[in-house]
Chains A and B, each alone.
Chain A
């Protein structure tokens, strides 16, 4: 298992306001957070609290109205090659086969991957047999596995997941959470997961940031050292942690 050693990401007073026809809409209030190398953070909060906006800022895909993001000590102003993103709607391209989707990031970067490592990753995610299919021929869970493969194939230092399993049924969601936790233990990347699901936050976040809305901001930070560990789900401390996070969330409401 990987442990935190040094800072991977830091955001300071990150703010985002969108301009609209009827004035400006504050999406995210001043938000500061830090993530260590090989650590995981879950951002949990009600819909519309700015979780996804925060994630896009941390991915370098949106520019903050104020504040800054430092990745490995350097200001982050655009997408970084060591940061991978997995979206709720998978972000797969229906006109590309699974293979071409998975290899697209490598192709864009002009990189290649050792076939043994690629095969091992595909086997790990159980999509070896799906490589010549198109995304629309797969189930939701299989599509999310492909999206994970496309991110992990880039060997990221930071994996960002935006409500990755929100559209899946409970069992598939839990299976994929376990898969992500196992991948985290094996590949040692930092990870930030956005979710509105308390148990998902507890399963995957070794720290859990509870967010409130209008404008979105972090209201509480809960340490959850057993996040991502094996056999955590179903244990008494898992439910205890879930109750604690729920209590924080209820306070925000």
Chain B
């Protein structure tokens, strides 16, 4: 309840500043929130708008799921095995700094212009964020915690279930929350090529038609999408890491 109240307060402040800016600059330069809201309501009554939103949501969720399913297990293995980490770390150190977005043409060439190429591109960017966070969190598990578990008769499997996974989970949720910002930002780029659907395309299309209110509608939708995902991960963390609230 407190979360919704703070969201409402934050949104009200943002809208107030936005409206003041629109009055100051004039609607022809900066479209005001009232106009954008009216446009949003009007757009939301069309199926085409929801098709754009659905296409983007699918790509974002698929990319988050794919990167989670690949990066987290690899991060756990690297964080738990010094030998594996020693072998793989140089590869990560060399590939992580490469700005993945420049790989967009190559990824689309290899995986096609359809959804697969776009999801692979998004996943590639998220992969490293999740991998490095998970690996570092698993590496940080204290020797004392390991001794404690082994002295109780635990095996490596028990260590993973009772120590490594629960201690890594908060870091994974933090990485996922950070990833939502990244994935929504990159979505705009990947949806600018080879598609007729998606909020990124919607914004570019509106830009091409110089339809400023619709550009703002697209921006607001992306912001809402990011905020919803962020909040979902926040709620999941509260459920699965209840001990962190204590």
Please give the residue numbers on chain A whose beta carbons come within 8 Å of chain B beta carbons, in ascending order: 56, 59, 61, 79, 81, 83-85, 87, 89, 91-96, 104-105, 108-109, 133-134, 136-137, 150, 154
Q: Which of B39-47, B52-60, B150-158, B195-203 contacts A (4 or more CB under 8 A)?
A: B150-158
Main secondary structure of the interface of B (DSSP, over half): helix
Complex contact A93–B151 (CB within 8 A): no
CB distance from A87 to the nearest CB of B (A): 6
Q: Mark B216-244, 1 if CB is under 8 A from A, else 0.
A: 00000000000000000000000001010
Taking a contact as CB atoms closer than 8 A, the residue among B151, B163, B166 that contacts A84 in the complex is: B151
Complex contact A94–B152 (CB within 8 A): no
Interface centre among B162, B167, B241 (most CB of A within 10 A): B162
Complex contact B152–A104 (CB within 8 A): yes
B147 at the interface (CB under 8 A from A): yes
* Cα–Cα, bound, A79→B154 (Å): 9
Complex contact A89–B243 (CB within 8 A): no
A–B complex contacts, Cβ < 8 Å, 29 sampled: A59-B147, A59-B151, A61-B150, A61-B151, A79-B150, A79-B151, A79-B153, A81-B153, A84-B151, A85-B148, A87-B144, A87-B147, A91-B144, A91-B147, A92-B148, A93-B148, A93-B163, A94-B243, A95-B241, A96-B162, A104-B152, A105-B153, A108-B152, A108-B158, A109-B153, A134-B246, A136-B246, A137-B246, A154-B152
Query: Which residues of chain A are within 8 angstroms of B153 by Cβ–Cβ distance?
Result: 79, 81, 105, 108-109
Q: Mark B148-187, 1 if CB is under 8 A from A, else 0.
A: 1011111000100011001100000000000000000000
Q: Mark B76-102, 1 if CB is under 8 A from A, else 0.
A: 000000000000000000000000000
Taking a contact as CB atoms closer than 8 A, the residue among B147, B154, B163, B241 that contacts A56 in the complex is: B147
* Cα–Cα, bound, A94→B246 (Å): 10
A87-B147, A91-B147, A136-B246 known; A150 vs B152 contact (CB < 8 Å): yes
Complex contact B167–A95 (CB within 8 A): yes
Interface centre among B144, B148, B151, B162 (most CB of A within 10 A): B151
Taking a contact as CB atoms closer than 8 A, the residue among A81, A87, A95, A154 that contacts B148 in the complex is: A87
Complex: chain B residue closest to A100, CB-CB: B162
Query: Which residues of chain A are within 8 angstroms of B145 by Cβ–Cβ distance?
Result: 91, 93
Query: Which residues of chain B are within 8 angstroms of A89 by Cβ–Cβ distance?
Result: 142, 144
- Give the A-B contact count at a CB cut-off of 8 A: 59
A108-B153, A109-B153, A137-B246 known; A61 vs B147 contact (CB < 8 Å): yes
CB distance from A60 to the nearest CB of B (A): 8
Query: Which residues of chain B are within 8 angstroms of A95 by Cβ–Cβ distance?
Result: 166-167, 241, 243
CB distance from A96 to the nearest CB of B (A): 8
Query: Which residues of chain A are within 8 angstroms of B243 by Cβ–Cβ distance?
Result: 94-96, 134, 136
* Cα–Cα, bound, A134→B245 (Å): 10
CB distance from B173 to the nearest CB of A (A): 13
Query: Which residues of chain B are within 8 angstroms of A83 by Cβ–Cβ distance?
Result: 151
* Cα–Cα, bound, A12→B234 (Å): 54
Query: Which residues of chain B are within 8 angstroms of A94 by Cβ–Cβ distance?
Result: 243
CB distance from A51 to the nearest CB of B (A): 15
Complex: chain B residue closest to A154, CB-CB: B152
* Cα–Cα, bound, A104→B153 (Å): 10
* Cα–Cα, bound, A128→B79 (Å): 37
Complex: chain A residue closest to B241, CB-CB: A95
CB distance from B174 to the nearest CB of A (A): 16
Complex: chain B residue closest to A109, CB-CB: B153
CB distance from B138 to the nearest CB of A (A): 15
Complex contact B151–A108 (CB within 8 A): no
Q: Mark B124-151, 1 if CB is under 8 A from A, else 0.
A: 0000000000000000001011011011
* Cα–Cα, bound, A38→B142 (Å): 32
Query: Which residues of chain A are within 8 angstroms of B148 by Cβ–Cβ distance?
Result: 85, 87, 91-93
Query: Which residues of chain B are within 8 angstroms of A85 by Cβ–Cβ distance?
Result: 147-148, 151
* Cα–Cα, bound, A105→B150 (Å): 9
* Cα–Cα, bound, A89→B151 (Å): 14
Query: Which residues of chain B are within 8 angstroms of A61 by Cβ–Cβ distance?
Result: 147, 150-151
Given contacts A83-B151, A96-B162, 19 further A-B contacts (CB under 8 A): A56-B147, A61-B147, A79-B153, A81-B153, A84-B152, A85-B148, A85-B151, A87-B144, A87-B148, A91-B144, A91-B147, A92-B148, A93-B148, A93-B162, A95-B167, A95-B243, A96-B243, A109-B153, A136-B243
